[in-house]
Amino acid sequence: MDLQLKGKTALVTGASRGIGLAVVRALAAEGVRVVAAARTTTPEVVAAGAIPVTADLSAPAAAERLVTEAITELGGLDILVNNVGGGDGGLSGGFLELTDAQWAQVVDLNFFATVRVTLAALPALAAARGAVVNVSSIGARVPHGGPIAYTTAKAALTAFGKALAEEFGPQGVRVNTVSPGPVRTDMWESPTGYGAELATAMGIPHDELLANLPTAMGMVINRLVEPSEVAALVTYLASPRAAATTGTDHLIDGGAVKTA
C-alpha cells in the first residue's frame, strides 16, 4: 500500500534507538524527509538517511530551538512523532520511595517535553494540515504495570493527545496516540535498564524475567513487541491514509490489555 508520504517532512524525538529509530527508518523508507532528534547522534540514525539534531528535551528551552532548526532544515513540517521518554531506571521501588526530584524528572521527560515540542510545532503543523503521533504506553491503562511516576506521566500524555485532537481538529491537525506493551528495547533488555532492575528486585535472573515477561503480562503472542511493529503503526497514523483517524489511542501490546 502506498501511504502517500513521499516528499512529506517529519520531526521524530527520542530518535537514536529503539522505537524512535525504528520510526525514523520506517518514515524514511516511505520517502519522508526526517529530522531525528536525540541527546546523542548514533551511526544508525545517519545510516537511516535522517538529519540528526542533538537536543536534550529535559531542558525547557530545547524544544523551541529543536523545532526551529527542524523547520529550517525541512522547509516546513507535516508530521511530528513525540517519542521522547524513559527515565524509568532507578524507579523499581514503590511510591513511598520516590522523591520529588524523581517525580519531576520522569514527568518532565515523559509529558512536559512532548507538550513543549508540540506547542512549538503546532503553527507549522496547522499550516500543513499535518499529523501528530504521541508514543505513550499501556501503563496509561494499567498503571500498576510499571513505575508509578512513569505510568502516571504516560496517562497524562494519552489524555493530552485526545484533548489536542479535539481542539486542533478543525484546523486540520490530526493527533493520535500509540500505546505499546513491552517492546524489545533497552528498557527491558539492557543490563542497566528497568527490566534488569526489576529482575534484581524480584530476585531472579534478568534472562528469566525476559523469558517469562510475555506470559506474565498476558501477551497472547508469547513474545515482546518489535520496535518495527510499533513504527509501522506510527507511520500509518501519520499518513494521509489515516485521514479520518484522530483522537484515538491504539494499543500494540500483543493482547496484554484485556479491556476495550
Write out the three cell numbers for 37: 532528534
Query: 150 catalytic, yes or no?
Result: yes
- How far, in whole angstroms, is CA 64 from its chain's centroid? 19
- How far, in whole angstroms, is CA 115 from its chain's centroid? 13
Task: Tabulate helix, strand, coil % of the chain (nearest 5).
Answer: 50, 15, 35
CB atoms within 10 A of CB 46: 12
Q: Which of 150, 160, 168, 188 is catalytic?
A: 150
Contact 179, 250 (CB under 8 A): yes
Within 13 Å of residue 185, how many CA atoms lie on the same side as its CB? 24
Q: How far is residue 82 from each of residues 43, 70, 109, 198, 202, measured CA to CA in Å?
A: 21, 14, 11, 26, 32
CB atoms within 10 A of CB 59: 12
- How far, in whole angstroms, is CA 107 from its chain's centroid? 14
Active site residues: 150
